[in-house]
Structure 1
């Protein structure tokens, strides 16, 4: 549902969420909401009693409200105990159409799951001048670096099509173990598939559906800095490729094996992966756009010394 359809103003950068009631028969609105959102079933009684669930006209609904198939409901999602990310977003560039940010590690791009207020999009939208910002692409929560947002809804589709057509140059930097027997540069191709149960990716037999150019930038003892240029855009592609080669990126909480939830929020050990550069020909005015991150990756021994 488009934010333009929402009858409610944002709250602290967070836009209201919408649910459309399916063509079903329920004894009451509350009964449906408790079943549909069973993981937070008890909260709906309180939301309705507090006037925190609204209809399409922005009128609050009562706990005794009837179930009306096809009705749109609006509400503000909440997340308990959301970890606060102690890093700032840096603005690299801004004009009437584009906003380019230097995303820090640990900050999710958009609200979802256990991330709501501690996301790049929510933080940006707290500024009324950036209320229309929408992401053109995304980075993993653990990854830092260059990320593009569109400020003009009419232009967003043109920029997104560039990514869909792979007409955008993207390169990353990573710090991972040094492997003397790995001949570089290497164009690594493989078939990536999400494991049953979700989230992590693994290489499997079959026709390759992903490729990454891996180049060595420098070496420091057992560690090396690599430039990674993806030719495809599979989920966790760079992390999965390096893990499959036996050089998993430093401080990765998911590859080669999941460590634990604490590792995913250990702010002293950021994933050593940075979206260094994005470049493309602007589809609106034909100008050449090149944006570079100003961030620097910490080598594992440096990160340990600062912890």
Structure 2
């Protein structure tokens, strides 16, 4: 559903689905209850300024009855953001595709306390491409390759590549050396390399971590290869066959090789400010696929490295 409001300063308008019936006499009354953490008069003043609009772009006022409109659009008021002091790099750009190298700590899209400090908004502003849209996502903590669609007309062709698992994705990770590590016979949890690990991963509503269930039918799979190990850390190459939330972090943690500086797995740590000196040691390294428009093979490789990777 196209927004009636243009992208502004790299940020698209937010769409809100309204109930058509309920105990609220007006759209403003519903939104004041929905966003109870905001000052209600400040919210209603946004109606007075014409900042809440319908699908045709017409402004609602604070007395607009509930049930007249099913959707409204508005710009989020910018949060006070902590600057993410790392730059995103463009590795490739053509008429349909942008491939960027994302730093650690930068979210893929705006959300929560991050708006301008997101890969999408930074790239829209840098490249002056208001229709730019991510084709897939990386966790905020993960660095590496991200693909973006430039034009809505060709976006679906690239999205289908990911839906059909026709993109080869390769990651790297660095973990603390697992307990009982035997350099003469390298293995994870008794599984010699290369390790194919499968389990069932479920995203729970209102939980920041996913749940792994060994009793249910697996819905995730990762091939784990050994790159190098020293007396301190383990460096692995990861080839996910599926794309479940936090999959690589969960799989390595389940095998006793949780990724260095992971505050979620195997143990959820208390929330704390970002420590820019201790990024999660996970990197989206390579992307390979056959371009759906030209039929030509495509390959992209990050220029980033993991700071804790052992020298060889």
1:222 aligns with 2:226: no
Unmatched tracts of structure 2, length 5 or more: none
Cα deviation, residue 196, structure 1? 6.4
Q: How many residues align?
A: 298
Q: Aligned equivalents of 1:100 and 1:72: distance in 2?
A: 33
Q: Aligned equivalents of 1:110 and 1:184: distance in 2?
A: 35
1:298 aligned residue: 307
1:106 aligned residue: 105
Aligned pairs for 1:144-163 (under 5 A) are: 144-163=143-162
Q: Aligned equivalents of 1:128 and 1:48: distance in 2?
A: 32
Deviates more, 1:56-65 or 1:197-206: 56-65
Using the size of structure 2 for normalisation, the TM-score is 0.88
Aligned residue among 180, 194, 197 for 1:185 = 194
Cα deviation, residue 79, structure 1? 4.7
Aligned pairs for 1:112-261 (under 5 A) are: 112-127=111-126, 129-179=128-178, 180=181, 182=187, 183-195=192-204, 197-204=206-213, 205-261=215-271
Q: Aligned equivalents of 2:114 and 2:17: distance in 1?
A: 23
Aligned pairs for 1:11-160 (under 5 A) are: 11-25=8-22, 26-40=24-38, 42=40, 43-127=42-126, 129-160=128-159
The answer to whether the 8 A contact 2:54-2:69 is kept is no
Deviates more, 1:73-82 or 1:218-227: 73-82
Aligned residue among 275, 284, 294 for 1:285 = 294
Deviates more, 1:46-55 or 1:289-298: 46-55
Where 1:100 maps in the other structure, the secondary structure is strand
Alignment root-mean-square deviation, CA: 2.2
Q: Aligned equivalents of 2:310 and 2:29: distance in 1?
A: 55
Q: Aligned equivalents of 2:173 and 2:203: distance in 1?
A: 22
The answer to whether the 8 A contact 1:78-1:116 is kept is no
Q: Which has the higher helix share?
A: 1
Q: Deviations for 1:87-113, whole angstroms, at most 9, x for unmatched residues?
A: 111000011111000011111111223
The answer to whether the 8 A contact 1:250-1:300 is kept is no
